[in-house]
Amino acid sequence: MAFAFDFRRIAIALVVVATASAMVWFGTGLFPMWPLLWFAPLPVLLFAGRSPRWAAALTAALAWALGSLNMWHYFSAALHMPPPVRVGIVAVPALVFMLAVLLYRALLRRGAWWSALLAFPAAWVSFEYVFNLTSPHGSAVSLSYSQLNCLPILQLASITGPWGISFLLLSFPASLAIGIHLRKAAPKQAVRIVSATIGAIVLVMTFGAVRLALAPPPSREVKVGLVASDLPANSDVAAAGDQTERLLRDYSAQAETLAARGAKVIVLPEHLGEVVDPNTASTDHLFQSLADKTKATIIVGLAHTYPQVMYNQARAYAPGVQVLSYEKHHLLPPVESRFASGKTLTTMREHEGMWGVAICKDMDFTQLSRQYGRVGVGLMLVPAWDFVLDRFEHGHIAVMRGVESGFSIARAARGGFLTVSDNRGRILAETESNSAPFATLLVDVPAVHDTTLYLLLGDWFAWLTLATTAYNLTRLWNTAQAARQLG
């Protein structure tokens, strides 16, 4: 009989792992199907509520780890991460998910139902936030990016940053699991918990719909041009000298064409070639003379080598103004380990509004974008370089920064997309960088800054989840101590 019972539990656990991991696989990753992640943890939470601790832990960890393998090929083929690093990237979130499920289970079985509801999403978001503060990859692990195609939910980022979206996303399956768990023993409490969570989701969706409908009119638009090429000769970093000059002249010809069509600012990709101090005069002359001639500002991504240091740099050539430079703050290890990180912002005040400059991975970090938002930037100009495989996932992470900090974004990536989005996260125009020998976009973009609550209050919600997790751990400890004393 015990064997039959164990066999039945194992069979159920395998079904749970298969179901949950499939929803994680397709609900996250490079091309997420956003509705799936709302339900992905549900089978695990239902199983955990009525299973031994070890079974709940193993099932949770296995389900999340298997689902996370959807990124394994990307980590290997695109980022060339060594196997131990890849294993860690899969194993650590799986461990965190397991601990969040165990915390939920312990509080649920002790009758702390509301605490269980909050504990599961709060524990995960606490991990996301700590990872964001300590990792060179910033907010990239956040589950909120799975929801980029759901614009009403995306508007929550203007209040809480990515953290509130992840919390809401995970609170939904937790409430359903608690409701099912209590449906016979405490049906009224089950209804309250599920109703409260669904009510919160409806409130967020309503806020998002209203915010989208009441978006400020594009009273100050700027015509933005973007250029990128994935031709084999242009797909790698051009060496300093003649090779760089030839490539930059090809790009300058494309920029001149866009300027002739009315572009006021033109964004070229990241790291097009290497220039070595003091021999930057030819490059500066090429683009400065073009800017003076066309009255357009041109943003060019270069590797700039000084005698003692090397920067991944964006150089901004504006008509009649000395060249400005921006050094990339957040570098991708180990690919960019040879570069020093920048420390300053680069802004340009124009008739249409304030413009800012960042480079590719910088847009994975909420803090840098908030710094630009605080000085009133309404349009971010972002040279970038993606890895083809991640053109959707990484290329669109920047979209959330615009919602959080109130600016439009023009991002030109080779190996990715040319993307223009507004401060509501709407994609105004987009094309693949390999859609033509030199892919181009020309778009009228609103450049008005929009102040948001997240910009004013910062990571208040993330700190609230940390406090909630600490409280729930304390409550779990106290209930365990009380149970021991009664025993």
pLDDT score of 328: 97
pLDDT computed for residue 1 by the predictor: 42
Rounded CA separation 250/227 (Å): 11
Q: Dihedral angle at the C-alpha atoms of 260, 266, 270, 274, nearest 10 degrees? A: 60
Contact by Cβ (8 Å): 369, 375: no
Nearest to 228 by CA among 250, 245, 212, 244: 250
DSSP state of 263: -
Which residues of the chain are modeled with pLDDT < 50? 1-3
Q: What pLDDT does residue 161 have?
A: 98
DSSP string, 365-411: -HHHHHHHHHTTEEEEEEEEE--STTTTHHHHHHHHHHHHHT-EEEE
By the 10 Å C-beta count (0-12 exposed, 13-18 middle, 19+ buried), 122 is classed as buried
d(CA 436, CA 9): 55
Of 75, 146, 137, nearest to 396 by C-alpha is: 146
Sheet holding 417-421, edge to edge: 347-350, 353-357, 377-385, 408-414, 417-421, 427-432
pLDDT at 8: 85
Q: Give the bridge partners for 349, in sequence order.
A: 354
Q: d(Cα 475, Cα 483) in Å, to the nearest integer?
A: 12
Question: What type of residue is 316?
Answer: A
Q: What is the pTM of this model?
A: 0.94
Q: What is the pLDDT of residues 157-209, one digit of tens each?
A: 999 999 999 999 999 999 999 999 999 999 999 999 999 999 999 999 999 99
Distance CA 311, CA 330 (A): 11
- Look at the chain and count its residues: 487
* Residue-level pLDDT at 298: 98
Q: Tens digit of pLDDT for each residue in 237-277?
A: 655 567 788 999 999 999 999 999 999 999 999 999 888 88
Structure tokens at 419: 């993307």
Distance CA 216, CA 223 (A): 18
- Give the pLDDT confidence score for residue 477 in this predicted structure: 84
